[in-house]
Structure 1
Amino acid sequence: MTSVPPLPFQTVHGIPIPLDWLCLAPHPDDAEIGAGGTLIRLAQAGRAVGILELSRGERGTQGTPQVRVAECARAAQIMGLSWRGQLGLGDGELTDTPAAAHALAAALRAVRPRVLLVPHHKDRHPDHFGTYHLSRRAVQLAQLRKADLQGEPWRVSRVLLYQGNADIQATLLVDVGDVQQEWEAAVQAHRSQFSGEAISETVTPEIIERRRARQIYWGTLARVRYAEAFEAEDALLVDPLAL
């Protein structure tokens, strides 16, 4: 009897099922900060939503991998995620290598997302723009029938870039005004990062205030109170009747 190779990730919350939306996060908490309100809105609307951390954040100044995985599980419950996992690539070493791309492509085949959220390539953090470039190769690999990968081929329908620390040219704004309480609770679930001393503009007790300021800015452009911003590299097809 032929054994089935193990899946290339650790499940933190839920079970790996076909997802409507999947957010790739270089480290624990990146998804909540950059796209958490949108993910919560989708989950509340009944969509199957997930997060895949590429690393465990083991080189972060604050917290340990064990503490941070517990924080991820708590945040997933608050957000109503269907699934959350960790790929286990090296923190500080996220880049487009064949081995990493094959691992991520196998994960994409396992959870089969329709829409994929990835960090913007303009972000200053090497792991963030490394994740962007890695995701491009993995999306291509996942759909190739002759790729040496576990699982059936899968084609992601849409890739959207979410905002990290750099400015972006937003082509899609999502109203997140109705989920501010849940979003704040999900971010604050990562207590090891946001309750101690300020380490950076991101790892700081002021994270909610700083990120909400961005949501207010994007919300002003969208004529709502709070919005999250995304950039589509390909043209979006819009029903004019919905405008």
Structure 2
Amino acid sequence: MLDFLVVSPHPDDAELGLGGTLARAHAEGRSTGIIDLTRGEAATKGTPEERAKEAEAASRILGLSVRRNLGWPDSRILDSEDRRLHLARVLRELRPRVVVAPHENDRHPDHVAAARIVPAAVHLAGLKNSPLSGEPFKPQGLFFYMGNGPFEATLVVDTSDYIDVWEAAVRCYTSQFTGEAASETVTPDIYRTRRGRAAYWGTFIGAAYGEPLWTPRPVAYTPF
């Protein structure tokens, strides 16, 4: 069983949104993982091969127990039965205690689609009579993390001690965030701006830095 699994539409989304939380979970002895849905082949800069190497480097920094790439088409993710079943099979295999998906308030259609696919896949994975092989499995918790749009957080994780690990993991993606190679959709100084966002959320819990999560249901347990 995996303790904490983040679904990432593209390599780098999980690190940007929850790198500090992943680092903290690993430091506290939790098993962690990332499922990348696409190879990022539609990005303005960087090749899928470069992105794969960057993801591998970031995974080492974060201490991930597992990382998979499902190879779905970048910028063409659609909420379909096949996508739901594919992810549900992976969930049954990895058996994550907590699953975290992108929040649907986002400018990128892949993030929006993922926000709909993940809850459906979680549901399918737990059904005894679903068209899946293997034992049914239902995670204890489903959360959503912040991408490119805001939301009202229902949980903020204190990542003060792991902000430098977060930045080191994000800096692995040189094809996306470094100098002239930076994507046209990214602010020139993403490290400063994203640190600022983490500092903002940290103020709500009396911490230097924090990462926000949202869940539609009350939290009745400690997920990390």
Relative to the length of structure 2, the TM-score reads: 0.95
Displacement of 1:201 after TM fit?
4.7
SS at match of 2:2: coil
> Conserved in 1, the CA contact under 8 Å of 2:103 and 2:112?
yes
Displacement of 1:151 after TM fit?
2.5
CA distance in 2, matches of 1:104, 1:196: 35
1:64 alignment counterpart: 47
> Conserved in 2, the CA contact under 8 Å of 1:23 and 1:50?
yes
Matched, 1:38 2:32: no
- For the pair shown, the structure with the greater C-alpha radius of gyration is 1
Pick one of 64, 82, 105 that aligns with 1:81: 64
**Equivalent position amino acid for 1:52 in 2:** I
Pick one of 133, 139, 146 that aligns with 1:150: 133
Displacement of 1:133 after TM fit?
0.3
Matched, 1:55 2:43: no
CA distance in 2, matches of 1:150, 1:91: 27
**Equivalent position amino acid for 1:42 in 2:** A
CA distance in 2, matches of 1:28, 1:199: 14
Matched, 1:140 2:146: no
Q: Cα distance 1:218–1:201, how it changes in 2: closer, same or farther (>3 A)?
A: farther
For CA contacts below 8 A with separation 6 or more, give which structure has more relative contact order. 2
Matched, 1:171 2:154: yes
1:103 alignment counterpart: 86
1:183 alignment counterpart: 166
CA distance in 2, matches of 1:67, 1:168: 32
Displacement of 1:182 after TM fit?
1.1
> Conserved in 2, the CA contact under 8 Å of 1:117 and 1:162?
yes
> Conserved in 2, the CA contact under 8 Å of 1:96 and 1:137?
no
Pick one of 186, 195, 205 that aligns with 1:212: 195
CA distance in 2, matches of 1:182, 1:233: 29
**Equivalent position amino acid for 2:44 in 1:** T
SS at match of 1:114: strand
2:183 alignment counterpart: 199
Q: Cα distance 1:201–1:215, how it changes in 2: closer, same or farther (>3 A)?
A: farther
Percent identical across equivalent pairs?
Answer: 44
CA distance in 1, matches of 2:151, 2:140: 22
CA deviation vs aligned residue, 1:207-229 (integer Å, no higher than 9, x gap): 11111110111111111111110
Matched, 1:126 2:109: yes
SS at match of 1:181: helix
Displacement of 1:28 after TM fit?
0.3
CA deviation vs aligned residue, 1:43-71 (integer Å, no higher than 9, x gap): 01110100000111110111111111111
Displacement of 1:199 after TM fit?
3.1
Relative to the length of structure 1, the TM-score reads: 0.88
1:159 alignment counterpart: 142
**Equivalent position amino acid for 1:54 in 2:** L
Aligned length, in residue pairs: 221
CA distance in 2, matches of 1:238, 1:51: 22
**Higher alpha-carbon deviation: 192-201 or 93-102:** 192-201
Please, what is the CA RMSD of the aligned residues? 1.3
CA distance in 2, matches of 1:187, 1:52: 16
Which runs of 5 or more residues in structure 1 are unaligned? 1-17
